[in-house]
Every structure is written in structure tokens, then in C-alpha cells.
Structure 1
Amino acid sequence: MSPSKTHIFLIGATGYIGGSVLTRLQSHASANTFDITALVRSAEKAKVLQEKFGVKTVVGSNEDLDKLEALSEQSHVVFSCADADNLPAIEAILRGLRKRHASIGDLPILIHTSGTGEIATPAKGMFASDTIYSDTDVEQIKSIPPTALHRDVDLAIVAADEQGYARTHIILPSTIYGQAKGPLFDAGVSNPFSIQIPNLIRASIGRKQGGVVGQGKAIWPDVHIDDVSDLYIVLFDAITTNPEGVGHGFEGFYFGENGEHTWYDISKAISKALVELGVGGTDEPTSFTDEELAKYWGSVDAGNYSGTNSRCRANRSRSIGWKPKYTTADMLVSIKPEVALLWEKAQKEGGVQLSTSRLHFKKFDGSSMEPTTKSSK
């Protein structure tokens, strides 16, 4: 007898995180038991996904609320990897899961992508915060202000869990780095690059000098794309193996981090790379002016986000068997080749492309990695 299929709906398959998660699902030991459907904006990419990779596709976006609702209702597991701040989209997904629970009685699973921007606090790069969040400290997680970045979406997701019609789990990646690799990326279907560090590199290339917000003293965690995509699969496996033993709702926040860095650390590595590549400047980063923050990030406030504090420990993530391999030292080593790649691209394009940072300044934490038609990522 053939095994029953697990119906999975994945949003963000053409993105950085979503493409990495889909790659893991396709190489999973139980891949032959998965029936995966992806919502994809591009009809061309949808065709490649379906014909070359055997993924069912529906052409649409997170603005197509009826499609989100219907596809969620048809799925036992939903991976939401496309937008951490689209409340109408998540409400449509939750309506679909509620309908599924009411009609067939199962308890559908939602694994949503948020980000550690949710715990970020202003510093303008001038100081490091002593506050460190743990994903096992439920009261601390509950204390995050409702006005925090991504929080309205995350609270709606927790409410669904508390109402009992879905089991919800929220992954909060930090500064994601590294080039995503695999067949989906080789085929040009999914975006292989992150946002946060590349934005700082682009701004530094634009001024031909490594830049930093303030003095770069504020601290963020970091995580490699391979490690964070592994976290999704470790969580998925834990849920499907022992659903009662895996934290959900307010006990279902899972940080993605394996070390932390100051913003200065990143800017220093960018500065050194620019000097070694002959682009210009000195190997010591200089502070961005307000005019430069507005130029490269769209506004001063958006630029100052690269000087916030966001500190956490992924204790719950590790408790379910997640074992990240890459460290902050690996992140710093990865910067020079990324600088070289973006410098080469800027030369070919005749200048620095600013659209990415302006469109996505709210999502530097990696919470939304799906490219848009207006963004080169």
C-alpha cells in the first residue's frame, strides 16, 4: 500500500528562504509522500517548477486572498515564507485553516517566517543592548510590544493557535547570510541572495568607502541560509513525529541564530574588501551621513535600522534537535566574495541599484526574502 500524501502549501518558493525550504523538502527522506503546491507570481517560473521539479503551482501573489484561503484549506501543512508583514495575507491563510479544521476535523499546521526585527530596538549604532531574548522564555516573548515590527502578524497567528483550529509555529531568522544553492537556484527559479548585508555593501560601493551607522556598536545575531532552512525541516520533522511534544502558539517561537556580531564587524569587513578590490576608501568604515542614509535606504529612519540592537538565543530551536554549523566567523569570511560579486554587478549595470533597500528596509532580518519584479535583491 502506498503511503498517504501530506498536502503542503508553500508560499515564497521563488525567494531566498522559501526556495531553500523547498529544496530541503524535495530532498527529504519522505519526499515521495509530499504533495507540494506553491503560489508563484511568475507564470514562467511556475511552469519550470511544475515541469522540471514536479511541484504543483498556482500563479498568484499574497494579494490574491481568495487563492491563499483556498490553497490553505486544501493543505495540512502551510509554510509561509514570503512576507512577515502582510496581515491580510496571513488572515486569509488562517481563514483557510479554520475552514479545513471545521470541515474535516484535522489540526492543520502553520510554519510562518517572522524575524528578529521583532525584538529590535533603536540605537543608531551608538551602544550595545544588554537585553537578550530567549525563545524558551514565554513571558519575555509575550512582553514584546504589539507595535513591534512583524508583531501584528505574529499575534494573529498565535491567536489562531489559542482558538484551537491550527497548530502554529513561528521561525524568526536573524541576519541571514550566504548564497543559497541547489537545483532551484541553478535554474533561476529562486533568489540565491540575502538582503541585510548586501544592502550595506551596495551603499558602501555607492560611496566607495565602507560605511556604518553611528559607531557600529549595536549587536545583532546571525545565521547561515543553510542552517536556517535546516531549522524549518527539523521543526517540520519534530511536529510530524510528535506533534504534542513540540511547542506551539506562544511556546512556538523559534529563533534562528548561531552567534552575534556588531554592525561595525560587518562594515569593517566590507571596508577591507573594498580596499583589497581596489574600489577605494580606507579599511576603516566611516559613519553614514543622514543624506547618505536617505539616499541608500529611502529615509534616515530606514537607514538607522542598520544600527539597531536585536539580541537573542535560539534555545527552543536547539531543544528540538537543530544543530547549526556556521558561525559568525564564517559570516565575516563570506563578506569579501559578496562585495566582489556586487561590485562586478554594479559595474555591469552602470551604477548601484537602490531599489532593493528602499523596498525592503523593514525586512533586514531576513523575514521576507522573495524577490519582486522591482527588486534585484
Structure 2
Amino acid sequence: MATPRTTILLIGATGYIGGSVLTHLLAHSNAKSLDITALIRSEEKAKKLEQFGVKAVIGSYGEVDKLESLAEQSQVVFSCADADNLAAIDAILRGLKRRHASAGIPPILIHTSGTGTLAELANGMYATETIYSDLNVEQIKAIPPAALHRNVDLAVVKADEEGYARTYIVLPSTVYGVADNALVKAGVANSLSQQIPDIIRASIGRGQGGMVGEGKAIWPNVHIDDVAELYVTVFNAALNNSEGTGHGWGGFYFGENGEHTWYDISKAVSVAMVELDIGGTDEPTTFTKEELIKFWHDELVGNYSGSTARCRADRGRAIGWKPRYTTADMIASIKPEVELLWKKAEQEGGVKLRVPEVVAAMRAQNAD
């Protein structure tokens, strides 16, 4: 008997997380039964992606009609791109609703949010004592509607409540590690995360390791390979409709395997800069308001690197997720990233700052 095929749409294949998730899917034990389609902007990258057996469709996240059509054709959708694009998610959900109407079986949506939805702007001065568990549904429901990513997360959960899709939301924390998979090597996917590289770039730009406030705020962390494995663990459980696998309000899955202060990161950056003879001392100093604006284009967005958010990934572990890397591994990963970004800054003639469009989106989400 032929093995049943599973049609998958993956959004964000060229990204840091999306590329890593796709890499893990291509190495899945049932990879030969997975028909994977990826929406991708670049024709050049699309050709490279097809060499991996992935069907590449040229298009952007802004082409909502195309998103809706592709989602309708898919049993499973991995949304690994913009966590704050409500129009795009609405299009995907419309497609899944149409699929359910014709097939009668709820398709699966695995959406990427982030633990930034838990964040409190502490300006690096304190750590919250509140620790979220993804098994505590009432605690998850109490997250304020104006929180970062929350409007999109609520739309995803509503689809599950209405019964036309089974939805699962993965919330990565501070994701770290230089991705070194086949898609990165082929020039398809991004190799770097955002939070730690932002601090490294700003520190290189000022010639001294920096931190927001006193660096006392705490965040959770997770290695890029571990968080990709979390997506696959959720996918396996969702596809099998395994007993005990929560979805909807019971389908929030934190990506966490330890926590750190922002000082811990900035201290490691400072030490690495000294060891690499880049400059500064081995003790980080506080970013000034002017530096936050210079390197993040906006003081509020810069202060996000001094926010506090704490959680435990109890739900993922309950369905078999076994993360391997620890906070000590995160600290050890910083020096290679400092060296890499320093070399890039030299090649590019300076530190590459965030694009204003990204900053504007983050500011809008934090407006309340």
C-alpha cells in the first residue's frame, strides 16, 4: 500500500527559523511522503530550493490572494515569517477555511509567534517574578490584547475555536546559534538570529560592549536546532492527532531551555571584543539614548533589549520535545558571532542597522 502524502506549505523558508524548520522537515523520517511548497520572493533562491525537492512558488507575504490559494491546497501550513502580519494570517486562515469546507477535515496551522508577547519593558532595571507555563491556559488567556504578536495569535486561536482548523502556536524566545544547515550553505536561508546580533552590532558600532540599563532583566533562550525540533515535534503530534496534544488555547508551545539576564549577553560580547582586539573593556556599559536611536532607529525599540519575559516550555516537553542546548551553550556561542559580525562590518564598511520598516512595525505593536 502506498504511503499517504502530506501536503505542506511553508512560509519563511529563507529566514533563520523557517530555513531551519524546513531543513529538519527535509530530514524527517517520513520526508519522502511530504510534498512541501515554499513561498519565496527570489527566483534565484527558488531555483536553489527546488534542488532540495521543494516546490517553490514565487511571491511575497503581501500577496494575500496567492497565500489564500496556497493554503487551501495544503493539509499543513507552517507560518514562519512575520509574526505581526495580520493580513497575511487572515489570508491563510481563509484558505484553510475553504479547504475544510470542501474536504471536511480541519487542516493544521503551525504559526510562529514569540515570547515577546510576555515582555514587560523593564529598561534593563529589573526582572519580573511572573513565570508563564504554556500548560497554564488561564495564564495564557490573560495576556493583554495589546501585547506584541497578540492580535495575530488571537486570530489563529479563533480559527481553532470555530473548528475549521487545528492551530498550534510556537513561541521562540531568544533564539541563538549560527545556523549551519544545507539551506544556509546553498545561499537560501539566513544564518543569524536577531536579538543577540543586534546587541553585537551596536556594541561593535560604539567600540564597547553595551546593555540597556543595568542588564538586570531576564529572558528565556533556546538554540536554533532545538527550536526547529520543537516545530517538528508539534508537527508529528498534530499530524497523528496524538492524545494530549493541545491546540487552540491549549496549543501554545514556548521555545525555552534556560534563561539569562541581558547583562550575561552583554558581558560575553564585551569579553569577546577584548579577546578579538576589537576594542573596549570586558565590562559592558549602558547604551545612551542617542545610541539606542542610532542603532535601533528608535529609543523604545532599543529598550526592547532590556525587557523582561520569563516562561517554561512545559507543554512541548510533555509531548516529547527534548532540547539539548543550555544557557551555557548560548554564552559560548557569542564569541563566534562577534567575530563573524565584526568581519561583516569591515567588509560592508560599517555596522548594518535595522531597516526602518521593521522598527516601525515593532513600535506600532508596542504603542499601547
Please confirm whether the aligned pair reaches a TM-score higher than 0.5, indicating the same fold.
yes
Amino acid corresponding to residue 18 of structure 1 in structure 2: G
Instruction: Render the CA deviation track for 1:252-304: whole Å, top value 9, x for unaligned.
Output: 00000000000000000001111111111111100000000000001110110
Answer yes or no: is the 8 Å Cα contact 1:223–1:326 preserved in 2.
yes
Question: What value does the CA root-mean-square deviation take over the aligned residues?
Answer: 1.4
Q: CA deviation at 1:181?
A: 2.0
Per mean C-alpha deviation after superposition, the further-off stretch among 69-78 and 340-349 is 340-349
- Partners of 1:183 and 1:268 lie apart in 2 by 32
Q: Find the counterpart in structure 1 of residue 186 from structure 2.
A: 187
Structure-2-length-normalised TM-score: 0.96
- Partners of 2:70 and 2:359 lie apart in 1 by 26
Q: CA deviation at 1:192?
A: 1.0
Q: CA deviation at 1:90?
A: 0.1
Q: CA deviation at 1:179?
A: 1.2
Counterparts in 2 of 1:65 and 1:37: CA distance versus 1, 3 Å: same
Answer yes or no: is the 8 Å Cα contact 1:113–1:170 preserved in 2.
yes
- Partners of 1:347 and 1:57 lie apart in 2 by 34
- Partners of 2:362 and 2:224 lie apart in 1 by 15
Q: CA deviation at 1:242?
A: 3.0
Instruction: Render the CA deviation track for 1:86-114: whole Å, top value 9, x for unaligned.
Output: 00000000000000000111110000000
Q: Which has the higher contact order (CA 8 A, sep 6+)?
A: 1
Q: Find the counterpart in structure 2 of residue 10 from structure 1.
A: 10
Q: CA deviation at 1:357?
A: 8.1
Q: CA deviation at 1:73?
A: 0.4
SS in 1 for 2:192: coil
Q: Find the counterpart in structure 2 of residue 198 from structure 1.
A: 197
Answer yes or no: is the 8 Å Cα contact 1:302–1:362 preserved in 2.
no
- Structure 1 segments, 4+ long, off by >6 Å, are 361-364
- Partners of 1:207 and 1:123 lie apart in 2 by 23
Q: CA deviation at 1:54?
A: 1.2
- Partners of 1:295 and 1:235 lie apart in 2 by 40
Task: Work out the number of aligned pairs and report it.
Answer: 363
- Partners of 2:58 and 2:156 lie apart in 1 by 25
Q: Find the counterpart in structure 1 of residue 31 from structure 2.
A: 31
Q: Residue 255 in 1 paired to residue 247 in 2?
A: no
Q: Find the counterpart in structure 2 of residue 175 from structure 1.
A: 174
Answer yes or no: is the 8 Å Cα contact 2:222–2:256 preserved in 1.
yes
Q: Residue 22 in 1 paired to residue 22 in 2?
A: yes
Q: Find the counterpart in structure 2 of residue 230 from structure 1.
A: 229
Per mean C-alpha deviation after superposition, the further-off stretch among 65-74 and 179-188 is 179-188
Matches within 5 A, 1:68-217: 68-217=67-216
- Partners of 2:361 and 2:202 lie apart in 1 by 16
- Partners of 1:21 and 1:357 lie apart in 2 by 27
Q: Find the counterpart in structure 2 of residue 369 from structure 1.
A: none
Matches within 5 A, 1:354-373: 354-356=353-355, 359=358
Q: Residue 65 in 1 paired to residue 64 in 2?
A: yes
Q: CA deviation at 1:362?
A: 6.3
Answer yes or no: is the 8 Å Cα contact 1:297–1:358 preserved in 2.
no
Answer yes or no: is the 8 Å Cα contact 1:7–1:75 preserved in 2.
yes
Q: CA deviation at 1:238?
A: 1.2
Q: Find the counterpart in structure 1 of residue 45 from structure 2.
A: 45
Amino acid corresponding to residue 10 of structure 1 in structure 2: L
Instruction: Render the CA deviation track for 1:161-219: whole Å, top value 9, x for unaligned.
Output: 00000000000000000011221111011111111100000000000000000000000
SS in 2 for 1:354: coil
- Partners of 2:174 and 2:356 lie apart in 1 by 15
Structure 2: 5+ residue stretches without partners = 364-368
Q: CA deviation at 1:241?
A: 2.2
SS in 1 for 2:222: strand
Answer yes or no: is the 8 Å Cα contact 1:199–1:357 preserved in 2.
no
Q: Find the counterpart in structure 1 of residue 314 from structure 2.
A: 315
Instruction: Render the CA deviation track for 1:323-357: whole Å, top value 9, x for unaligned.
Output: 10000000001001110111111111111111358
Instruction: Render the CA deviation track for 1:66-94: whole Å, top value 9, x for unaligned.
Output: 01100000000000000100000000000
